[in-house]
């Protein structure tokens, strides 16, 4: 087979049901690192007319035997290519039958970590999206669902699969999962593992055994994951009325994992960085993320597993909803306003960026070549935003009724976005035809708002327009429904109109407000009520007014961010700005009545990437070096103007007593670190040095290390950290990435180069690879260095990684996705690097699709 086959695209419009019904799946594993035997028994029956039986199965499956109702079919009726095994209809009975296959596979050679592979001596699986076809021949698609019975022969002490345990003895285990599921939710783990265990009684009285399985020695870092699981189980009962449905729930931590975690039925498999945490090794952000991802995977049990996706185009059906649910959970567990601001920051940094570049696609795409390339910020984070809008439009009660109907109507099914919208229509009576565009259309609408004040009549009119720029393959962008949450504030700071949602449905539309005494200040897009770019002419004084007086915490923070961004844009163009911002931040820093976490967010300047994005939104070519300088300069001015205030905050926000990862102390640490980050520009790094030596937790230690590196005096701290944590992979990942992130831009690629030559740069480990390449990509001016060193370094490693692990190579290639917005020199160099990748012999389908889209 040639390496340069034409790409095969899949289209939503081509969907058709699988022509066979699968009643049961039985699997038997004989585990051995390089020669595992898999016997499969599938109880099938033709759905309507008899057709050829097409089973997915990769090149790595060595077929040992094949039988239909106990007999080998005529070889003339069996054919195989790189992707599928086909048994001609002529060899099949037109009635229920049993297909038996036996294959041999080599988990020890599996460096792509898809299917059955080995990590640190243990066997584990990753099947979403299409990994099961590397384990056995199977209809590997989410709309084919069956109960599974799995037996495992292995000398490993712990043998796990989905569902409930049926039998367990030395060298053998059998598991039964009664809930019909698609193959992507299958999982198997065999290893030398230890568990921390607990129990949970569901509200209808089911007693569930809970286990978090880790490598021996890691038990003392698994407790927080267990606490998070229990909170999640309770929350899903309380808020969504959803109970767990098996006798056991297992979580396993593995060191080699392509993604964050996976919701396999009853057997969630996690990247160890999202399970293991201790104050000595994990930061506050790590803890918050562990809690959120444990919840996310647990919530999938209903939104994803009990109701799954008909096909992979519907991925956001489970992911958007489950992200939305984990966001709700975190806002209930921690500070809701802070969580909202953090989510919007992520959305803008990752999804807006995606939407503005060559990789833009709708939350529900209708075409892909490699589905693994569509586990994106658009499918996940925008998918969640769309649900937030829906909830705002139908109200909390309407949302609750729609969700109850969704679970009632579709339990046990593989559903679509149409099914999802239909339950909202049926439960609320609302027509969602126009709303559906949020799912099918790519791009971020640009919303403009102008004010017209009639002083005599006491009347304010708000004039809105919406427009969305074309995205690849979609030129026509009809108007969408946009919920715009608005409040009005009087000049003395009182709210004259509490939050109201305006529903915009046209390309241009006006809304009037009467009986106003004085001209109010408009607080717009409160809570970030829609994922749009809002443009309005606002002077810095009004922004500062909103930062001081808005009652909506998101809008308040947004006013501060706008103030910062508008100053940074001007500064990066070599002109003077920022006085209002510096004053306003001083007032906020001094406001001890405000939530420390909120103040920390406001004291953190927008990142360089964000400034670049704002500039290009405004039609200006961003200059990474000028942006870096401008941001540095403004931070220094803040520090100089408020040195005493910040020093006071740094002292007062120290948290006494033992470390707890809770929101309150974490907020104090966040504010303390924000102050440190500014003071570090003027104290030469002295505070950071003291903090590094005395910190009793990883949050402050990492912040101090980063500050020291930025002052060019981090060597001793790096060494100390390595001496102490050299054998802890997760800490060493941080150690790698911080050095690249905090390097001066001109040296970033060289630093990355030096680190890549270290013996402990275990590049096949996805976390380590991401630490280094992701660290460089996060150093905006470093990655985009004008000499192209950042691009070349990244391209070289992507090509190397592609041969071992195409998913990781493809995912990390998104470092390049913004290339078209830079100047001609950078564009040439980036395009050159991408062209080199595209021309690579034997490039994977994953990486090829990504680079082709980026240089199209």
CA end-to-end span of the chain: 26
CA 375 → CA 301, 314, 327, 768, 811, distances in Å? 19, 11, 18, 20, 9
Q: What angle do CA 758, 760, 765 make, to 5 degrees?
A: 120
User: Which candidate in 102, 114, 130, 297 is catalytic?
Assistant: 297
The answer to whether 805 contacts ligand PHE (rule: CB under 6 A) is no
For 464-474, letters b (16+ CB in 10 Å) and e give: bbbebeebeeb
Size of the chain in residues: 856
Of these, 262, 295, 708, 751, which contacts ligand PHE (CB under 6 A)? 262
322 or 765: CB nearest Zn ion: 322
Which stretch in 124-132, 622-630, 732-740, 822-830 sits in contact with ligand PHE by CB under 6 A?
124-132
CB 780 within 8 A of CB 268: no
For residues 270, 272, 277 and 278, what is the CA-based torsion angle, rounded to 10 degrees?
Answer: 150
Of these, 148, 235, 352, 375, which contacts ligand PHE (CB under 6 A)? 375
Q: What angle do CA 133, 135, 141 make, to 5 degrees?
A: 30
Least CB distance to ligand PHE at residue 737 (A): 21
d(CA 183, CA 161): 13
Neighbours of 63 (CB within 10 A): 14
Phi/psi for 681 (5° steps) reads -75, -20
Of these, 125, 126, 136, 327, which contacts ligand PHE (CB under 6 A)? 126
d(CA 694, CA 442): 49
For 492-501, letters b (16+ CB in 10 Å) and e give: eeebbbebeb
276 or 315: CB nearest Zn ion: 315
Least CB distance to ligand PHE at residue 380 (A): 7
Least CB distance to ligand PHE at residue 127 (A): 8
Least CB distance to ligand PHE at residue 357 (A): 22
For 495, what's the count of Cα atoms within 13 Å in the CB-facing half-sphere? 13
303 or 428: CB nearest Zn ion: 303
Q: How far is C-alpha 719 from the chain's CA centre?
A: 32
Which stretch in 61-69, 123-131, 413-421, 608-616 sits in contact with ligand PHE by CB under 6 A?
123-131
Least CB distance to ligand PHE at residue 103 (A): 22
CB 578 within 8 A of CB 533: no
Least CB distance to Zn ion at residue 263 (A): 6
Which stretch in 221-229, 259-267, 576-584, 735-743 sits in contact with ligand PHE by CB under 6 A?
259-267
Which residues, listed in sequence order, are joined to residue 270 by a DSSP beta bridge? 253, 261
| Residues 317-346 interacting with Zn ion (rule: CB under 5 A) | 319, 322
Tell me the site size for Zn ion, rule CB under 5 A. Answer: 2
Q: Which does 128 bind (CB under 5 to 8 A by kind): ligand PHE, Zn ion, none?
A: ligand PHE
Residue nearest to ligand PHE (CB): 259
Least CB distance to ligand PHE at residue 435 (A): 24
319 or 609: CB nearest ligand PHE: 319
160 or 522: CB nearest ligand PHE: 160
Q: Which does 140 bind (CB under 5 to 8 A by kind): ligand PHE, Zn ion, none?
A: none
Q: Which does 375 bind (CB under 5 to 8 A by kind): Zn ion, ligand PHE, none?
A: ligand PHE
128 or 385: CB nearest ligand PHE: 128
Binding string, 217-256, against ligand PHE, x = CB under 6 A? Answer: ----------------------------------------
28 is catalytic: no
Of 749, 845, 849, the closest CA to residue 806 belongs to 845
Least CB distance to ligand PHE at residue 131 (A): 8
d(CA 718, CA 730): 15
Which residues, listed in sequence order, are joined to residue 102 by a DSSP beta bridge? 39, 65
| Residues 303-342 interacting with ligand PHE (rule: CB under 6 A) | 319
Binding string, 354-373, against Zn ion, x = CB under 5 A? Answer: --------------------
Host H or E run for residue 424 = helix 417-428
Give CB contacts under 8 A, 24+ apart, made by 473-477: 473/367, 474/362, 474/441, 474/442, 474/443, 477/441, 477/443, 477/445
Which stretch in 19-27, 83-91, 126-134, 566-574 sits in contact with ligand PHE by CB under 6 A?
126-134
The answer to whether 128 contacts ligand PHE (rule: CB under 6 A) is yes
CB 297 within 8 A of CB 219: no
Q: What is the 3-state secondary structure (H, E, C) of 571-593?
A: HHCCCCCCHHHHHHHHHHHHCCC
Tell me the site size for ligand PHE, rule CB under 6 A. Answer: 11
262 or 742: CB nearest ligand PHE: 262
364 or 642: CB nearest ligand PHE: 364
Q: List for the chain the helix, strand, coil content (%; round to 5).
A: 45, 20, 30
Least CB distance to ligand PHE at residue 766 (A): 11
CB 446 within 8 A of CB 455: no
251 or 653: CB nearest Zn ion: 251
324 or 822: CB nearest ligand PHE: 324
Of these, 118, 259, 649, 688, which contacts ligand PHE (CB under 6 A)? 259
* Contacts of residue 345, Cβ cutoff 8 Å, sequence gap at least 6: none
Which stretch in 115-123, 244-252, 260-268, 764-772 sits in contact with ligand PHE by CB under 6 A?
260-268
Least CB distance to Zn ion at residue 150 (A): 23
126 or 468: CB nearest Zn ion: 126
Least CB distance to Zn ion at residue 323 (A): 7
319 or 792: CB nearest Zn ion: 319
Q: Which does 540 bind (CB under 5 to 8 A by kind): Zn ion, ligand PHE, none?
A: none
Q: Which does 259 bind (CB under 5 to 8 A by kind): Zn ion, ligand PHE, none?
A: ligand PHE
CB 610 within 8 A of CB 561: no
Q: What is the 3-state secondary structure (H, E, C) of 268-319?
A: EEEEHHHCCCCCCCCCHHHHHHHHHHHHHHHHCCCECCCEEECCHHHHHHHH
| Residues 152-171 interacting with Zn ion (rule: CB under 5 A) | none
Q: Is 200 exposed, middle or buried (0-12, 13-18, 19+ CB in 10 A)?
A: middle
Considering only the C-alpha atoms of the chain, give the largest distance between any 2 of them, rounded to a whole number of Å.
91
Of these, 56, 177, 218, 263, which contacts ligand PHE (CB under 6 A)? 263
The answer to whether 294 contacts ligand PHE (rule: CB under 6 A) is no
Least CB distance to ligand PHE at residue 212 (A): 17
Binding site for Zn ion (CB under 5 A): 319, 322
Binding site for ligand PHE (CB under 6 A): 126, 128-129, 259, 261-263, 296-297, 319, 375
Residue positions annotated with a catalytic role: 297
């Amino acid at each position: 087979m040639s390496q340069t086959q034409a790409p095969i695209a899949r289209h939503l419009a081509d969907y058709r049901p699988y022509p066979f019904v699968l009643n049961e799946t039985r699997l038997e594993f004989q585990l051995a690192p390089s020669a595992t035997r898999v016997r499969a028994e599938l109880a099938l029956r033709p759905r309507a007319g008899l057709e050829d039986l097409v089973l997915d199965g990769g090149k790595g499956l060595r077929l040992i035997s094949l039988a239909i109702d106990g007999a080998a079919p005529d070889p003339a009726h069996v054919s195989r290519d790189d992707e599928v095994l086909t048994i001609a209809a002529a060899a099949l009975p037109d009635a229920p039958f049993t297909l038996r296959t036996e294959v041999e596979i080599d988990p020890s050679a599996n460096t792509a970590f898809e299917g059955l592979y080995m990590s640190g001596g243990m066997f584990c699986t990753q099947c979403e999206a299409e990994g099961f076809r590397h384990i056995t021949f199977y209809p590997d698609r989410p709309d084919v669902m069956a109960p599974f019975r799995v037996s495992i022969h292995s000398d490993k002490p712990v043998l796990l699969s989905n569902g409930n345990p049926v039998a367990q003895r030395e060298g053998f285990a059998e598991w039964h999962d009664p809930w019909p599921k698609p193959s992507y939710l299958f999982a198997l783990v065999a290893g030398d593992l230890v568990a921390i265990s607990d129990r949970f009684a569901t509200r209808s009285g089911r007693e569930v055994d809970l286990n978090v399985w880790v490598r021996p020695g890691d038990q003392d870092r698994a407790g927080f994951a267990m606490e998070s699981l229990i909170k999640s189980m309770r929350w899903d009962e309380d808020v969504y009325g959803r109970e767990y449905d098996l006798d056991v729930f297992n979580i396993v931590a593995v060191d080699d994992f392509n993604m964050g975690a996976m919701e396999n039925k009853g057997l969630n498999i996690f990247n160890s960085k999202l399970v293991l945490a201790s104050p000595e090794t994990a930061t506050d952000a790590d803890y918050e993320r562990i809690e959120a991802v444990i919840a996310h995977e647990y919530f999938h049990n209903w939104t994803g597993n009990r109701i799954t996706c008909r096909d992979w185009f519907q991925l956001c059906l489970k992911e958007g909803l489950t992200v939305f649910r984990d966001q709700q959970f975190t806002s209930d567990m921690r500070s809701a306003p802070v969580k909202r601001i953090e989510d919007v920051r992520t959305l803008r940094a990752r999804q807006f960026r995606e939407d503005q570049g060559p990789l833009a696609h709708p939350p529900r795409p209708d075409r892909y070549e490699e589905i693994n390339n569509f586990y994106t910020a658009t499918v996940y984070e925008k998918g969640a935003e769309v649900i937030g809008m829906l909830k705002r439009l139908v109200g909390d009660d309407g949302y609750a009724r729609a969700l109850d109907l969704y679970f009632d109507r579709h339990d046990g099914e593989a559903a679509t976005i149409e099914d999802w919208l239909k339950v909202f229509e049926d439960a609320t009576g609302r027509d969602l035809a126009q709303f559906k565009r949020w799912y099918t259309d790519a791009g971020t609408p640009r919303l403009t708002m102008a004010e017209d004040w009639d002083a005599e009549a006491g009347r304010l009119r708000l004039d809105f327009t919406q427009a969305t720029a074309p995205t690849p393959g979609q030129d026509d962008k009809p108007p969408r429904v946009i919920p715009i949450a608005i409040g009005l504030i009087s000049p003395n700071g009182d709210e004259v109109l509490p939050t109201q949602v305006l529903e915009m449905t046209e390309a241009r539309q006006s809304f009037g407000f009467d009986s106003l005494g004085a001209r109010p200040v408009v607080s717009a897009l409160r809570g970030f009520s829609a994922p749009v770019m809002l443009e309005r002419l606002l002077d810095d004084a009004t922004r500062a007014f909103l930062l001081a007086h808005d009652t909506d915490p998101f809008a308040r923070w947004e006013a501060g961010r706008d103030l910062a961004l508008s100053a940074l844009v001007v500064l990066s163009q070599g002109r003077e700005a920022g006085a209002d911002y510096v004053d306003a931040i001083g007032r906020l820093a001094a406001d001890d009545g405000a939530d420390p976490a909120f103040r920390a967010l406001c004291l953190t300047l927008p990142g360089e990437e964000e400034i670049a994005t704002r500039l290009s939104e405004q039609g200006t070519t961003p200059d990474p070096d000028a942006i870096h300088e401008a941001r540095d300069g403004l931070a220094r001015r803040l520090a100089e103007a408020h040195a005493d205030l910040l020093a006071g905050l740094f002292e007062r926000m120290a948290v006494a007593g033992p470390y707890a990862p809770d929101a309150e102390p974490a907020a104090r640490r966040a504010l303390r670190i924000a102050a440190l980050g500014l003071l570090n520009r003027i104290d030469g790094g002295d505070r950071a040095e003291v903090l590094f030596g005395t910190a009793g937790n990883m949050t402050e230690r990492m912040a101090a290390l980063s500050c020291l590196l930025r002052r060019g005096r981090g060597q001793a701290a790096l060494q100390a950290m390595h001496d102490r944590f050299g054998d802890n992979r997760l800490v060493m990942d941080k150690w790698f990435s911080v050095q690249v992130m905090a390097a001066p831009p001109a040296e970033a690629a060289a630093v990355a180069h030096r680190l890549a030559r270290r013996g402990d740069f275990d590049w096949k480990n996805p976390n380590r690879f991401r630490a280094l390449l992701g660290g460089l990509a996060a150093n905006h001016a470093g990655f985009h260095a004008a000499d192209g060193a950042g691009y070349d370094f990244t391209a070289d490693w992507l090509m190397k990684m592609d041969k071992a692990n195409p998913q990781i190579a493809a995912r990390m290639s998104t470092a390049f996705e913004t290339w078209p917005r830079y100047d001609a020199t950078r564009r040439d160099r980036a395009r050159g690097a991408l062209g080199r990748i595209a021309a690579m012999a034997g490039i994977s389908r994953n990486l090829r699709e990504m680079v082709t889209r980026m240089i199209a």
